[in-house]
Amino acid sequence: MPGTREIHAYYGHGKGKTTAAVGQAVRAAGSGLKVLVYQFLKDNSSGEREILGSVPGIMCLPGKEHVKFLSRMDAAEKAELKKENEKKLDEIGKLCGSFDMVILDEVLCAVNAGMLSLADVLRTVREKAPNTELVLTGRGAPEELIALADYVSVIEARKHPFADGARTAAREGVEY
């Protein structure tokens, strides 16, 4: 794919941000592009990783084997996770030029939760290799990032079983 690659942001409170990014990865790999995927705030057990890792052309950068919900972490665990996230973002920045597409899943959630600095993410976006398409997902997108992005998709929840209490447990293969 000739020319400068662009920046995508999929964000909002609706279901489907990761699903959209995974679809983008499959589309890119199906067209012969090399894709790197990293999931912030998630461990290596998410359902999409199983299939993505088996698709030729897609590499899932490994994260921690087990990641607790932030609400269940103490201050020391959060500090360790933040340090690890910063290290991964730096590693991804160095690898970026070797891939046609890089997906930073839940990177915006990591920023919003204080587990990654916005300045570091913006630096990564600004310094990305020109031959790399960059996809970022998460709940909220800061205005600085929206200004840099070429594609901005807001995923809005209109109705969800969790909201009205009809269901409280996430289902494997659907919500995770």
Write down the H helix ranges in the chain.
17-30, 47-52, 75-95, 107-112, 118-126, 143-148
Distance CA 6, CA 15 (A): 24
- Is residue 2 over pLDDT 60? no
- Is residue 162 over pLDDT 80? no
Tell me what the mean pLDDT of segment 157-175 comes to.
78
Task: Output the CA–CA distances (angstroms, integers) from residue 164 to 110, 136, 153, in the order listed.
Answer: 27, 29, 25
Q: What are phi and psi of 151, to 5 degrees?
A: -120, 125
Q: pLDDT, tens digit, for every residue of 120-157? A: 999 999 999 999 999 999 999 999 999 999 999 999 98
The strand pairing partners of 7, in sequence order, are 134
Q: pLDDT, tens digit, for every residue of 48-88? A: 888 999 999 999 998 877 777 888 889 999 999 999 999 99
Q: pLDDT, tens digit, for every residue of 18-57? A: 999 999 999 999 999 999 999 998 877 788 888 999 999 9
Check residue 42 and give its pLDDT.
84
- Is residue 3 over pLDDT 70? no
Q: What are phi and psi of 29, to 5 degrees?
A: -65, -40
Check residue 1 and give its pLDDT.
45
- Is residue 173 over pLDDT 80? no
Distance CA 94, CA 12 (A): 28
Among residues 97, 95, 157, 121, the alpha carbon closest in space to that of 40 is found at 121
Residue listed under structure tokens 């087990």: 66
Q: Between 174 and 114, where is the model more confident?
A: 114
pTM score of the predicted model: 0.89
- Is residue 117 over pLDDT 50? yes
CB–CB of 134/5 below 8 Å? Answer: yes
Indicate the helix (H) or strand (E) that contains 136: strand 133-138
The strand pairing partners of 98, in sequence order, are none
